[in-house]
Amino acid sequence: MTSLDFSTTIGNTWFPAPTFTASGCASSGRELAQFFPLREMGGVVTKSVMSKVRTGRATPRMAETPSGMLNSIGLQGPGIDAFIAKDIPYLLEQKARIIVSIAGETVEEYSTLARKLRSVSGISAIEVNISCPNVENRGLVFACDPEASRRVIDGVRRTIGGELPIIAKLSPDVTDLVSIARGVVDAGADGLALINTVLGMVINVDTMRPHLGGKTGGLSGPAIRPIAVRAVYQVHAALPQVPILGMGGVASGKDALEMILAGASGVSIGTASFGNPTAIMKIQSELKQLLIDRGFTSLKQAIGYAHRPEAEQDND
Amino acid sequence: MSQINKSAAQLLAPIVSNKKVGQYHQIIINVGDLANLCKPGNFVAINVGGDSSSMILRRAFAISRVSVNSTFGGTMEIIAAPHGQGSKWLCAQGEGVVLDIVAPLGTAFGIPTEPVSVLLVGGGYGSAPLFGLAEVLNARSCRVDMLLGASTASKIYAPMEGKRAVNSMRIYTEDGSMGQVGRVTDPIAEIIKDLDIAVVYSCGPMAMLSAITKITDSLSVVHQCAVEEAMACGIGVCMTCVLPVENEDGTVSMLRSCIDGPVMDGSKVQWSLVGKQL
């Protein structure tokens, strides 16, 4: 049997496999645990948690679109205290590796969340979801504002200290993704999660109004995969040393390989788990085989392989 | 917290038969031993459109009936209406086609421990799971009476064999094309009093479930309803199918109709808040 080193690293943290859930697509893991052991994937990226209990947006919250879907949940969640009390112990008991995703409405809220997580043991990394409206700046999404993005990451970095890797989750709905990526890395992010959903809308032609309760929603699924691959490719070209978690419509091992070749150190699987609860296990085994078939002996060799010089390509 | 969907499994299951029944399709799927784990109220999530489909989400169907000792091994019956793209695809699949299913999902109807009188109320093809429920209740020696309603005759789902497990069945259509003219909710209060009904079970459109709750709230009767909300995942991860439900402490939470439902206590659902921002 051909041996393959399937492990990856993000910041100073080692993961045995490069496959993760995408935040908001696996709740806190319990629901998927019925279908496969959570420890068998790289890690669980938990649903972005805020300081307080959130009831979220009005229904309808979902619209299926060609090869994708729109969602408008509004970060419904239990709040950080209940999350730390109930969800972290459960995931540790399952021997799952945990990346906690946090979201805030102010720069201060992100720091507060980081402070609460600092004393929790067993967490592998923190994902900072900055695709939230900044209530201190007319609701402009942090991730669309380079300065606000930097300030959020800087606040989290200062609070958490130097140990726990910070992954900044960026929105593709920006003019210059690379400059935002560079900004958050300068502010202390160890890794990047690319991409969050793409803002979209569906209008119901019977009611002749926006279909979703929240009017706009995040588009996910294979429909956005080329956008995600492009984003990963561009950011990896500019910042080759920064690990990227690639996501956006990954539904097969081939899709995951595309992300890896574009420059991702790992892939997150989100919407695919909605249609197939065992999607992550399927993608993981397909990806392994595809890497072996192409002669790679480690996942790391394949990261960013699509960027190699033309001459090298000709020799292959 | 107890394990979520602890009986659920994903499997490839062949269609045994697909028959048109009025406007609907009765589809029977060979699910083997999984049939033993399905309870009335549970649902199944089915992949639609085939491998290259642009429809990425499963479609949820109430499991209307199971048979554990049919000639095909364990089978599951669903009743589908070919309304959307996904259900049209499913209704067009014939015998032998293998479906990717996840089941059984969600909560089940609670069955009384005593042989009490119960009323089953179905709207449109929401009546489908009530026939399987009627059989279970009948086996518990409950007196089962049934009310079915729809806008018009062709939307009533009432298979002949379904009548065996019920004491009486009354049909209401808004246009009078079948049964009595009117709504299924018209006679409920009277029936509850006359037959000393202990539990009302309902399945159908949300407006009907809400209207039944208004009646049952003023009477000392339990109302178990199977709700219908648009779902993306069916397994509790996407948070799209939520409904406002009152907690024990009087606060209201957005509960997932896929794992905290589809069967819910009608008196706890905050019907006036459905579709509103809390």
What is the reported pLDDT for B2?
A: 61
Give me the total of CB pairs closer than 8 Å, taking one residue from chain A and one from chain B.
116
The domain total for chain A is: 1
Query: Does the residue A3 lie in any domain?
Result: no
The C-alpha atoms of residue A131 and residue A142 are separated, in whole angstroms, by 6
Q: Using alpha carbons, select from B81, B184, B77 the residue that is nearest to residue B133.
A: B77
ipTM of the complex: 0.93
Whether residue A30 and residue B243 make contact (CB cut-off 8 A), yes or no, is no
On whether the CB atoms of residues B224 and B110 are closer than 8 A, the answer is: yes
pLDDT at residue B160 in the model: 82
Percent composition of chain A: helix, strand, coil (DSSP 3-state, to 5): 40, 20, 40
pLDDT average, residue stretch A227-250: 98
Q: What local confidence, expressed as pLDDT, does residue A51 receive?
A: 97
Report DSSP state, residue A140: E
* A133-167 tens-digit pLDDT: 888 888 899 999 999 999 999 999 999 988 899 99
Q: What is the pLDDT of residue B163?
A: 85
Q: CA A47, CA A102: separation in Å to the nearest integer?
A: 8
Arithmetic mean of pLDDT, A97-109: 97
Residue A283 lies in a domain: yes
Q: CA of A79, closest CA in chain B: separation in Å?
A: 13
Q: Does A128 score more than 70 pLDDT?
A: yes
**Per-residue pLDDT, B228:** 87
A61 in contact with chain B, both atoms CB, cutoff 8 A: yes
Of B5, B55, B230, the CB nearest to A34: B5
Cβ neighbours of A294 (radius 10 Å): 13
Residue A248 lies in a domain: yes
Chain B nearest-CA distance from A44, in A, is 13
Interface-testing mutation among B52, B233, B249, B271, with chain A (most A C-beta atoms within 10 A): B233
Domain of A262 in residue numbering reads as 8-315
Least confidently predicted of A44-58, B63-77, B105-119? B63-77
Mean pLDDT of B14-32: 95
**Which residues have CB under 8 Å from B139's CB, separation 6+?**
none
Contact in structure between A42 and A266 (CB atoms under 8 Å): yes
- Long-range contacts, stretch A291-295, CB < 8 angstroms, 24+ apart: A291/A4, A291/A6, A291/A257, A292/A2, A292/A4
Residues A195-235: tens digit of each pLDDT: 999 999 999 999 999 999 999 999 999 999 999 999 999 99
Mean pLDDT, residues B63-89 taken together: 92
Give the Å distances, CA to CA, from A184 to A166, A177, A189. Answer: 10, 11, 6
Respond yes or no: is residue A132 known to be catalytic: yes
Which of B8, B57, B230 is facing A34, going by the closest CB pair? B8
pLDDT of B148-192, one tens digit each? 999 999 999 998 888 888 999 999 999 999 999 999 999 999 999
Asked whether the predicted pLDDT for residue B110 surpasses 90, the reply is yes
Closest-CA residue in chain A for B48? Answer: A275
Question: What are the backbone angles phi and psi of residue B113, rounded to the nearest 5°?
Answer: -80, -20
What is the mean predicted confidence (pLDDT) over B247-276?
A: 95
Mutate to test the interface with A, among B87, B240, B249, B251 (most CBs of A within 10 A): B240
pLDDT of residue A247: 98
- Is A150 buried (19+), middle (13-18) or exposed (0-12) by CB count in 10 A? buried
Average pLDDT, rounded, for chain B: 94
Q: Which domains, and CATH codes, for chain B?
A: 9-105 (2.40.30.10), 117-230 (3.40.50.80)
Task: Return d(Cα A270, Cα A46) in angstroms, integer.
Answer: 11
In a domain, A105, yes or no: yes
Token code pair at residue A26: 């696996």
Residues of B in contact with A278 (CB under 8 A): 10
Is the pLDDT assigned to residue A2 strictly greater than 80?
A: no
Q: For strand A62-65 and strand A68-71, is the pairing parallel, antiparallel, or unpaired?
A: antiparallel
**Residue A311, domain CATH:** 3.20.20.70
Q: Average pLDDT of A60-64?
A: 96
- The pLDDT of residue A315 is 47
Q: What are phi and psi of B24, to 5 degrees?
A: -110, 170
Burial code (b: 16+ CB inside 10 Å, e: under 16) for A205-235 equals: eeeeebbbbbeebbbbbbbbbebbbbbbbbb
Q: Does the beta-carbon distance from A60 to B236 stay under 8 Å?
A: no
Chain A residue numbers touching B10 (CB-CB < 8 A): 35, 276-278
Catalytic residue selected from A103, A117, A132, A244 = A132
pLDDT tier for residue B127 given thresholds of 50, 70 and 90:
very high
B129 to chain A, closest Cα gap in Å: 24
Please give the pLDDT value at position A135. Answer: 87
* Cβ contact B5–A213 (<8 Å): no
**pLDDT (0 to 100) of residue A1:** 53
Phi-psi region of B106 (alpha: psi -120 to 50; beta: other; left: phi over 0): left
Instruction: Write the DSSP string, B84-151.
Output: SHHHHHHHT--TTPEEEEEEEES------SS--EEEEEEEGGGGHHHHHHHHHHHHTT-EEEEEEEES
Q: Given an 8 Å threshold on Cβ–Cβ distance, is B10 in contact with A76?
A: no
pLDDT at site A161: 86
* Over residues B54-79, mean pLDDT: 92
How far A185 CA lies from chain B's nearest CA (Å)?
30
Distance separating alpha carbons of residues A106 and A216, to the nearest angstrom: 22
Give yes or no for residue B1 having a pLDDT over 50. Answer: no
Mean pLDDT of B55-73: 90
> Is the previous residue joined to A123 through a cis bond, with omega within 30 degrees of 0?
no
Mean pLDDT on B209-221: 95
> Nearest CA to A58 among B244, B259, B256, B226?
B244
b/e map B109-139, b = 16+ CB within 10 Å: bebeeeebbbbbbbbbbbbbbbbbbbbbbbe
* Res. A316: pLDDT tops 90: no
Residues in Cβ contact with A149 at an 8 Å cutoff, skipping those fewer than 6 apart: A130, A142, A143, A168, A170, A180, A183, A184, A187
Domain contains A2? no
User: Quick one: closest CA in B to A252, which residue?
Assistant: B51
Using omega within 30 degrees of 0 as the cis cutoff, is the peptide bond preceding A133 cis? Answer: no
CB-CB neighbours of A93 under 10 Å: 9
Q: What is the pTM of this model?
A: 0.94
